[in-house]
Structure 1
Amino acid sequence: MAKALFIGLLITALLTPLAVAGTAEFYVTKTSLTELAPGETGVLNITLKNLGTEFASRISASLDPGDTSPVDPIGPVAIQIPAASEALPTSFFGAVTQGEEIVISYRVAAKTTASEGVYSVPLTLTWDVSGTTYSATLYIGMQIRKKDARLTISEVSPGAIAPGESAELKVRLKNTGEGSAERLTIEIDPSDTSPLDPIGPTKVEVDHPVAPGEEITLTYPVKVRSGTVEDVYYTPLSLSWETFNISKSATLQIGTLVKGEVKLGVASVSTDPSEIRSGDDNVKVSVSLENSGEATAHNVRAGLALGDGFAPSYSQSDSAYLGKLSSSESQSATFYVDVAEDLAPGKYSIPLELVYDDDDGREHSVEKSVDLLVEPKPYFRVSSVRLEPDELRPGGHALLYVEVENTGHEKAESVDLRVVRESGQPFDYDRRSDFIGTLKPGEKGTALLEFDVDGDAAPKEHLLKLMVRSTGDSELGDDNVYTQELKAPVVVAEGQAEAEQASPLPLALAAVAGLAIGFIAGRKQA
Structure 2
Amino acid sequence: MLLLALLAAPGAAQGVKYLYGSPDLSATISGTNQFAPGAETQLGVIISNSGLNTHKMVGSTIVTPDDQPNTAKLVTVTLKSSDAPFTVKTDPQFVRDIAGGGAANAVFNVKVADSAEPGTYTLPLEVTYTYLQDAEDYGDVLRYNYQKKTLTLPLTVQVTPDLQVEVLDIRSESLNVGTEGYVYMTLKNVGHDTASKAIAMVTRSGASPLIPTDGNAYIGTFEPGETVDVKFKVSVANTAEPQSYPLDVAVTYEDYEGKTVTSRPTTIGLPVGGKIAFEVVSPPSTLYLGQKSILEVVYKNSGAATVYNAQARISAVDPFTSNDDTAFLGDLAPGETATARFEVNVDGAGTAKEYGIDSEIRYRDNLDNSKISDTMKVRVALEQRQGTLFTNPVFLIAVLAVIIGAGYYIFVYRKKQR
Q: Which position in structure 1 is the counterpart of 2:268?
A: 488
Distance in structure 2 (CA, Å) of the matches to 1:320 and 1:346: 31
Give secondary structure in 2 for the equivalent of 1:344: coil
Q: Which amino acid aligns with 1:309?
A: P
Counterpart pick for 2:117 among 344, 349, 357: 344
Deviations 1:335-361 (A, max 9, x none): 344342432211211112121112234
Distance in structure 2 (CA, Å) of the matches to 1:408 and 1:283: 23
Q: Is the 8 A contact 1:382 1:487 kept in 2?
A: no
Distance in structure 2 (CA, Å) of the matches to 1:402 and 1:423: 21
Label 1:191 to 1:276 Cα distance change in 2 as closer, same or farther (>3 A). farther
Deviations 1:402-441 (A, max 9, x none): 2222211111222223332368544454412222222111
Corresponding position: 1:358 with 2:131 = yes
Q: Is the 8 A contact 1:455 1:496 kept in 2?
A: no
Q: Is the 8 A contact 2:33 2:156 kept in 1?
A: no
Label 1:421 to 1:264 Cα distance change in 2 as closer, same or farther (>3 A). same
Matched residues, percent identical? 18
Q: Which position in structure 2 is the counterpart of 1:408?
A: 191
Deviations 1:355-400 (A, max 9, x none): 11122344221222222222222222222212235xx443554210
Distance in structure 1 (CA, Å) of the matches to 2:213 and 2:168: 23
Q: Which runs of 5+ in 1 are unaligned?
A: 1-189, 194-235, 239-250, 508-526
Q: Which position in structure 2 is the counterpart of 1:382?
A: 167
Q: Is the 8 A contact 2:210 2:245 kept in 1?
A: no
Deviations 1:469-521 (A, max 9, x none): 22202xxx34252342221211123442111379xxxx9xxxxxxxxxxxxxx
Label 1:490 to 1:346 Cα distance change in 2 as closer, same or farther (>3 A). same
Counterpart pick for 1:368 among 153, 160, 171: 153
Deviations 1:8-60 (A, max 9, x none): xxxxxxxxxxxxxxxxxxxxxxxxxxxxxxxxxxxxxxxxxxxxxxxxxxxxx
Q: Which amino acid aligns with 1:439?
A: F
Counterpart pick for 2:97 among 323, 344, 365: 323
Deviates further, 431-440 or 332-341: 332-341
Q: How many residues align?
A: 247
Return the offset for 1:460.
1.1
Counterpart pick for 2:220 among 431, 437, 446: 437
Q: Which position in structure 2 is the counterpart of 1:187?
A: none
Return the offset for 1:320.
5.8
Distance in structure 2 (CA, Å) of the matches to 1:348 and 1:364: 26
Label 1:353 to 1:401 Cα distance change in 2 as closer, same or farther (>3 A). same
Distance in structure 1 (CA, Å) of the matches to 2:127 and 2:206: 52
Q: Which position in structure 2 is the counterpart of 1:335?
A: 107
Corresponding position: 1:306 with 2:46 = no
Please give the TM-score of this superposition, normalised by the length of structure 1.
0.41
Label 1:451 to 1:501 Cα distance change in 2 as closer, same or farther (>3 A). farther
Q: Which amino acid aligns with 2:122?
A: S
Label 1:262 to 1:383 Cα distance change in 2 as closer, same or farther (>3 A). farther
Q: Is the 8 A contact 1:396 1:496 kept in 2?
A: no
Q: Is the 8 A contact 2:30 2:45 kept in 1?
A: yes
Distance in structure 1 (CA, Å) of the matches to 2:152 and 2:206: 53
Please show how residues 114-513 of structure 1 align to structure 2 within 5 Å. Answer: 256-258=17-19, 260-266=20-26, 269-273=28-32, 275-292=34-51, 294=53, 295-296=69-70, 297-307=72-82, 309-312=85-88, 315=90, 319=93, 321-326=95-100, 329=101, 331=103, 333-340=105-112, 341-359=114-132, 360-388=145-173, 392-394=175-177, 396-421=179-204, 424-427=207-210, 429-454=212-237, 457-473=240-256, 477-494=257-274, 495-500=303-308
Return the offset for 1:265.
4.0
Q: Is the 8 A contact 1:304 1:319 kept in 2?
A: no
Deviations 1:432-463 (A, max 9, x none): 22222221111122331113445664111111
Give secondary structure in 2 for the equivalent of 1:373: strand
Q: Is the 8 A contact 1:396 1:497 kept in 2?
A: no
Label 1:394 to 1:298 Cα distance change in 2 as closer, same or farther (>3 A). closer
Label 1:319 to 1:408 Cα distance change in 2 as closer, same or farther (>3 A). farther
Distance in structure 1 (CA, Å) of the matches to 2:86 and 2:9: 58
Q: Which amino acid aligns with 1:435?
A: Y
Please give the TM-score of this superposition, normalised by the length of structure 2.
0.50
Label 1:452 to 1:257 Cα distance change in 2 as closer, same or farther (>3 A). closer
Q: Which runs of 5+ in 2 are unaligned?
A: 1-6, 54-68, 133-144, 275-302, 311-329, 331-418
Which structure has more relative contact order (CA 8 Å, sep 6+)? It is 2
Give RMSD over aligned pairs.
Answer: 3.5
Distance in structure 2 (CA, Å) of the matches to 1:450 and 1:276: 34
Q: Which amino acid aligns with 1:305?
A: K
Q: Which amino acid aligns with 1:500?
A: Y
Q: Which amino acid aligns with 1:380?
A: V
Q: Which position in structure 2 is the counterpart of 1:181?
A: none
Distance in structure 2 (CA, Å) of the matches to 1:191 and 1:443: 89
Q: Is the 8 A contact 1:395 1:496 kept in 2?
A: no
